[in-house]
Chain A
Amino acid sequence: MAGRDELFAALLQLADDHLILGHRVGEWTGHAPMLEEDLALTNLALDLLGQARAIYAYAGQVEGEGRDEDKLAFLRLELEYRNLLLVERPNGDFAHTILRQFYFAAFMKPWWDWAAVNSTDETLKGIAGKAAKEMAYHVRHCGEWVIRLGDGTDESAARMRAAVDALHRYTAELFTDTPAFKACVDADILPARDSIRPAWDATVRMVFDEARLDVPEVPFPAQGGRDGLHGEEMGHLLAELQYMQRTYPDMKW
């Protein structure tokens, strides 16, 4: 049976994934290779931040200690963030950014699909319905780009292969369930992460085939984000992310 603590811990993992990736994608705003993609990336980032916000707000209610979404998002220490290592990876070039987004969305889409229909938690069910539609577009948009870059010019194909080499080893962590998360899975609140593997494999394989990319073997996958063990880039990300709330505590728009 999932207690309050387990559900809170699971929700934080979920919200942290969306916040940190949303922040990363948001770093492109004003810097994308063309105006059309600048807006597309900003839209993707806003989808993720909207999902993060809804999940943090619910997590705050579940915790019941008066922490709202801002407090949870902006006023924790690095060790307390439980996001995947994948989502905190630096943007790199456009190929890295698009591939990271594709890996994440290809996982979240079927995960939210399950939650939207089967979750016994009505709040999560509501969040899932909206998020599944948004993630379907992320898979489509980023999948199309992976195909075009992978099967494009010599340079774009080389950059796409470099992105796969750099990021694929972070994908195993997508499918790892922590004990708190498992408790919520057993209560039918959340879908098991490892149950998403076949759907994710199929999506990645289909797009990689068209993109003429190989799915690499990863002997030593990178893990640790769920335990709060982050890469060194995470500190820099948090410094920027938390700056406003730390400088002007309780600031509101």
Chain B
Amino acid sequence: MKNHTPLWEVFIRPRNGLHHKHVGSLHAADASLAIQAARDVYTRRGEGNSIWVVPSAQIVASDPQAQDEMFEPADDKVYRHPTFYDIPDEVGHM
């Protein structure tokens, strides 16, 4: 079963102008069946108007073992957040 129906990652765009968002994965024999399966599994309640599917095997992921060196260095660099400005009242909500 597994060899005949590889895993696909599904991305749905909820509305025009928004970006596609990862919603889950599914098994399908090929690209067009994967699109149909994504439609049947993930858009039953009007979740979107565009679907992307990508073979899961094609996704390159960061190494979970390397979390310390990849992400921790950003933790103490609060000055990278744009929160050190006084916003004049006239600007209103930003």
Roughly how many angstroms separate A140 CA and B40 CA in the complex, as a whole number? 13
Roughly how many angstroms separate A148 CA and B30 CA in the complex, as a whole number? 10
A247 to chain B, nearest CB (A): 30
**A34-B5, A34-B27 given as contacts; is B44 within 8 A of A39 (CB)?**
yes
Contact of A36 among B27, B30, B32, B44 (CB under 8 A): B27
B46 to chain A, nearest CB (A): 13
- Tell me whether B29 and A36 are in contact (CB under 8 A): no
Is A136 an interface residue, CB under 8 A from the partner?
no
Q: Across the interface, which residues of B come within 8 angstroms of A71, CB to CB?
A: none
- Interface of A, secondary structure class, is helix
Contact of A43 among B1, B26, B40 (CB under 8 A): B40
Residues 151-172 of A, flagged 1 when their CB comes within 8 A of B and 0 if not, give 0000000000000000000000
Q: What's the A-B contact tally at a CB cutoff of 8 Å?
A: 32
Which A residue sits closest to B32, measured CB to CB? A144
B8 to chain A, nearest CB (A): 10
Q: Across the interface, which residues of B come within 8 angstroms of A39, CB to CB?
A: 40-41, 44
B63 to chain A, nearest CB (A): 30
- Tell me whether B36 and A40 are in contact (CB under 8 A): yes
Residues 35-66 of B, flagged 1 when their CB comes within 8 A of A and 0 if not, give 01101110010000000000000000000000
Q: Across the interface, which residues of B come within 8 angstroms of A148, CB to CB?
A: 29-30, 33
Q: Across the interface, which residues of A come within 8 angstroms of B5, CB to CB?
A: 34
Which B residue sits closest to A34, measured CB to CB? B27
Residues 18-58 of A, flagged 1 when their CB comes within 8 A of B and 0 if not, give 00000000000000001111011001000000000000000
Give the top 7 A-B pairs by smallest Cβ distance, nearest first: A36-B37, A40-B40, A39-B40, A39-B41, A36-B26, A43-B40, A141-B36
Q: Interface of A with B (CB < 8 Å)?
A: 34-37, 39-40, 43, 137, 140-141, 144, 148
Q: Interface of B with A (CB < 8 Å)?
A: 1, 5, 26-30, 32-33, 36-37, 39-41, 44
